[in-house]
Amino acid sequence: MAAKERDTDNNEFTFTNADLAQFEERRKKRLSGESKTSSWEEAKDIITGNSKSDLCKNKNS
């Protein structure tokens, strides 16, 4: 997703129609169960490599 223009007067961002379509696609996948969100703790573990998920483990380990 490209960087967005920020309206400093209203402290808001402007999104394109393509951005909005991408948000809606992600929303549909999440609601259908095709994808999921992560808690802050889960996200932090994934980022730091401490995740217990098989998806995040290095296959060469």
Q: From residue 29, how far is each of 12, 16, 26, 57 by CA, in Å? A: 26, 20, 5, 24
Does the pLDDT at position 3 exceed 50?
A: yes
Whether the model pTM is above 0.75: no
Tell me how far apart the alpha carbons of residues 4 and 7 are, in angstroms, rounded to a whole number. 10
In contact, 46 and 38? CB cutoff 8 Å: yes
Does the pLDDT at position 4 exceed 70?
A: no
Please write the tens of the pLDDT for every residue from 6-47.
666 777 888 999 999 999 999 999 999 999 889 999 999 999
CB atoms within 10 A of CB 42: 15
